[in-house]
Homo-oligomer: A and B are copies of this chain.
Amino acid sequence: MDRQLIAQSFQDFRERLIATLEGLEAEVGSSARFSRKPWDRPGGGGGEMGLMHGQVFEKAGVNYSLVKGEFSEEFARSIPGAEEDRRFWASGVSVVIHPANPHVPAAHMNIRHLCTTKRWFGGGADLTPVYPDDSETSIFHEALKGACDAADPAYYPEFKAWCDRYFYLPHRDEPRGVGGIFFDQMATEDLVADHRFTLSVGEAFASVYEQLARAKMERPFSQAQRHDQLVKRGRYVEFNLLHDRGTLFGLKTGGNIEAILMSLPPMVSWP
């Protein structure tokens, strides 16, 4: 399966997700839209950042990228298939949503395809509520489990556990949020199926997050709840800058700083 077609499918998915998030803004009478900013990567490729400051979403970033080039010698050692030939090609969509309302959970989603002398998919989606809510958590997990089970019943338990391990703050001994799924270096014998599964994770996320955001986006909240939200966001920043391999990957491969750090919240407090 041609990697350009995969990149195209990612780009199309991104447009649908943007339309979904803008649609929620429209539902509350906001005319907020994503502003788009293309960028070129020195060394090859580039992407388009999409950033929205809305009424429902205080800050939402939906980025698409297709980058290519050569890994540094040091970095190549940790990447499958790059030991001898350091060239790489990578395309992905990366989404971080910081809602205005403290009752609406923050969310993160990413799908990606990497090619060195090997090829694989990766991705995941997870939820970071200020106030965890069992029903919300279970609706979110059910949606991801649905996408997983359609591909392979072994996926969900494995990818859920991976997510729990990954989105964890060791220095505070606490999870970042209520989990989701995470997978990397997926390369079965069926590239088409892997691609279909990866896209379906994106679609499942878009649909369930729309439902969850809509359920609470107009719920009243207090200043104390806003404060809780700003503090919780601090944990998000700590994770992304201290531990996140995605951030590190971006910084080490000459990614776009603005796009990489778009995940950071619009307003945060360490009181």
Q: Which residues of A contact B (CB under 8 A)?
A: 53, 59, 171-172, 230, 234, 237-238, 241-242, 251, 257, 261, 264-271
Contacts and interface: CB of A to CB of B under 8 A. Distances in A.
Nearest to A169: B257
Contact of A270 (B238, B251, B266): B266
Contacts of A267: 230, 267-269
Contact of A261 (B230, B238, B257, B266): B238
A261 to B, nearest CB: 7
Nearest to A242: B241
Given A237-B241, A242-B241, A261 B251 contact: no
Contacts of A230: 267
B268 A269 contact: yes
Nearest to A262: B270
Nearest to A268: B268
A235 B235 CA distance: 17
